[in-house]
Each structure stands twice: as structure tokens, then as C-alpha cells.
Amino acid sequence: MGIGRIAIVGTGHAGVQAAASLRQDGFEGELFLIGEETDLPYHKPPLSKTFLKDDVPQLQLLRPEDFYARNRVELLSGRCVSAIDPAGKRLEFTHGGVLSFDRLVLATGARPRLPAVPGTDLEGVLALRNRADGLALRAALPAAGDVVVVGGGFIGMELASTFAALGRSVAVLEAAPRILGRAVSPLISDHLADRAVASGIRILTGTGLAAIAGEAGRVRRITTGDGQSLPAQLVVIGIGVEPNVELAAAAGLAFSNGIAVDAAFRTSAPDIYAVGDVASYEHWLAGRVLRLESVQNATDQARSAAAHLLGRPAPFRAVPWFWSDQGDARLQMVGLAYDPDRDVVRGDPQSGAFSVFRYRGDRLLSIETVNRPSDHMLGRKLLAAGIAPPIAMVRDAGADLRSLLEGEPKTSARAAVVSS
């Protein structure tokens, strides 16, 4: 029997791409795209980059305004789904009403994790995930000369550089020995930390947040785990996210760190799929179960899930990539560096533009680049083709790594941000 109606929950990168791909792949039935946010679906990455700096905050829409009507996508904005009945194939809305479906795609994303310390409820303690959070940060900035960013991950370091560029005194607390420690090589961590310090940011590693103190309900100071006291009129929490699994969990779907899906992005319930930040799956490249948080992952998974859902399975072989803008450094990463045993540098870190090729044995795991977009684009092709450049060649700045791709079929390396 044909599929009459597909419902998608979540209007982020994954949900919107799933809707677009379903139509592109020829789905002719009813298509509902449901999201609790009231804005037209928009790009999240600019929130920690340009959104706080622009005179007038601009949302970059994921699709033009008329995309939804043109593609017969019933966009239900400002609607929160409160329950799913997998057996009855119905979902319920928080403020009443139900919707039946033949297939359901869960693209509910993730939300910032908050530390279990006193004071997180004070005014001026914020986290960033969506436009409303971005507007709250903008509103808090005029009265905030001293900003403490808790967490030296991507969002924390991007925000720190944005605040420093806006003339604020900024301190970053990172509990691990180095910033971005779980994501990048020590060399890149150190390089980005040096750049941040040179721009006036204070970085405190090896210590976390112990308490936040305020006066008259507003934040005034924080205390670090090792007893330092720092002034703060704004505290931004950036210690990672938690996947929004509650809907799936309450419906009895399998989950652990994310909603568990198979290679076709099917959950443990028949006819229910999950994609994007919320989905946990065995990654073909890493050979382990993981959950990725990136625009590329969300859009590529959504494309693949749409094909599977319509009975046109294609093996998921997307190579993960990511970018982060910190001051005048653009970091780009491709691949997944689990258990690397050798980091090889190409280019001169002192010049501010270089790459780190990470290997396990002879296998190339990932390439991290700072202000070297051509190495990044090349890296996408090398990893897609399973080619590991010899280490001597990587070190030799004059060696043409592109020659390694000769004879390989052309791969389409997509633009960094996918839109319309």
C-alpha cells in the first residue's frame, strides 16, 4: 500500500531537509512539518557567529519563505508534539489535537545541558540553541562588561571570540586540560587557544564552574572549582547538549545517547525514523555507535532517510565534516579521529594557516585545517575515496596531494551550508 501521509517533528536542519528530499524523491502524499519554534526554519550556526554582532539580528532562512507552499509542505510552526502512539500511528500536540501518520520522522535535535550548580536560575545566566536564546544574549550584552563562558567547546569558543570582538572582558572555563579537547588534535587546540588569548580572552583550563552568585536575582560573580572568584554580569553555558529523546522514550522506542536507529535511520518502531542531532547510529567510518552534532550530518542523514523511507535505499557513506569560526580563524574538520596515533602537520602554524592530518597506523582518520579551505576540500575527497596520503608527502609543502585523486571518480563536495 502507498504512503498517504508523512509527519516530520522538528523544523531544524534535519527536519527541513527530510521534507525537501521527500518531495525531490517524488513523494506525492501529504507532508506535515511540525516545529515548536515560531520562526520560519533558519540556520543555527550563525547564532554564535554573526547574529550577536549584526546591528539588526538577521535570521538566515533554511529555505525561501514560499518553499513550503510551493512544495506542498504543511508547515505547522509553534506546535509542540507531546506524545506519539507508534501502534495507533498518531501524534498528539501539547495544546490539543492529534495527527495520524503512515510514516513519522523524528528530527527533534538537542538542547543545551546545564551544570548542576547553584545559581543557574539567575538573570544573566544563559545558554544558546535557538533564536530566542540569541535574542536574550543580545539583550544581556549592553549591561555585561565581564562575561564568563562555561565550556571551551565549539560554541563556547565561538561565543568567547564574538564577545571579545564586541569589547567585553571574557573568561572561558574549561574543565579539561585543553579547549576543544574531545574534538581536535592538541596542536589545533593550542593554536586556537593562543589566538584567543592574543585577542584578550582569558582561558582557565582544568577547572570547572562551582557556583554562580548574584544580587537581586541577577548574576554578579562565579566561583571556579579551584576556588577563584570572577566577576560576571553575563554567564553563558556551553558544556554540550542533550538529545531531545523524551518523545521517543515515552513511546517505548529504543534510545541511549540519542534515539537508536539502524543503517536506514529506522527506529525500533516500524515506520518511525530519526535523523540529525537526536539520532544515534553505528557510523560506517568510525565502526562504532555515535551521535554527531553538525549541519552536514543532519542534512545528509535526512537525505538518506528520505530515500530509505520511499523504498529507494542507498548505503549511507557521507564523510562527516564540520566548521567553526573563531575570530579570524576558520577551523574545518573532515573525518572522525577515533584513537589516532600520529598527527602530521602540513603548512606552518606560525603563518596562521595549516592543517593536521590524523592517522591510525597507515589509515587517514581526519584532517583539521585552519584557514586552509583547499586542504579541507581535498580531504573530503581523499576520505570519500579511502585514500591515505603517504606521510612524507603530507609534510612536503610542495607535494601535490591532488595527484593522489587522479583516476578516482569525481565526488561532489557540497558547499558548507546547504540551502534552498
Positions touching ligand FAD (CB under 6 A) are 9-15, 34-37, 44-45, 47-48, 80-81, 107-110, 128-129, 155, 244, 247, 276-278, 293-296, 298, 322-324
Are the C-beta atoms of residues 153 and 146 closer than 8 Å to each other?
A: no
Nearest residue (CB) to ligand FAD, 81 versus 164:
81
Give least dist CB 129 to ligand FAD, A. Answer: 5
CA dihedral for 185, 187, 193, 195, sign (positive or negative): negative
360 sits in which H/E element: strand 353-360
Nearest residue (CB) to ligand FAD, 277 versus 375:
277
Nearest residue (CB) to ligand FAD, 321 versus 354:
321
Give least dist CB 243 to ligand FAD, A. Answer: 9
Give least dist CB 339 to ligand FAD, A. Answer: 23
Give least dist CB 334 to ligand FAD, A. Answer: 11
Give least dist CB 257 to ligand FAD, A. Answer: 14
Nearest residue (CB) to ligand FAD, 44 versus 191:
44
| Long-range interactions of 38-43: CB distance < 8 A, separation 24+ | 38/77, 38/78, 39/77, 39/131, 40/65, 40/75, 40/77, 41/11, 41/12, 41/15, 41/16, 41/75, 42/131, 43/13, 43/295, 43/417, 43/419
112 CB-near residues (< 8 Å, 6+ apart): 127, 128, 129, 237, 238, 239, 240, 241, 242
Give least dist CB 44 to ligand FAD, A. Answer: 3
Give least dist CB 109 to ligand FAD, A. Answer: 2
CA atoms of 182 and 289, how far apart (whole Å): 16
Nearest residue (CB) to ligand FAD, 44 versus 303:
44
Nearest residue (CB) to ligand FAD, 126 versus 212:
126
Give least dist CB 228 to ligand FAD, A. Answer: 27
Nearest residue (CB) to ligand FAD, 242 versus 271:
242
Closest listed residue to residue 147, CA positions, set 179, 130, 170: 170
Nearest residue (CB) to ligand FAD, 48 versus 355:
48
Closest listed residue to residue 152, CA positions, set 227, 211, 203: 203
Give least dist CB 312 to ligand FAD, A. Answer: 22
CA atoms of 238 and 292, how far apart (whole Å): 17
Cα distances from 197 to residues 147, 152, 191, 327, in angstroms, run 15, 13, 10, 11
Nearest residue (CB) to ligand FAD, 38 versus 351:
38
CB count, 10 Å around CB of 38?
Answer: 10
CB count, 10 Å around CB of 40?
Answer: 18
CA dihedral defined by 125, 13, 241, 156, rounded to 10 degrees?
A: -50
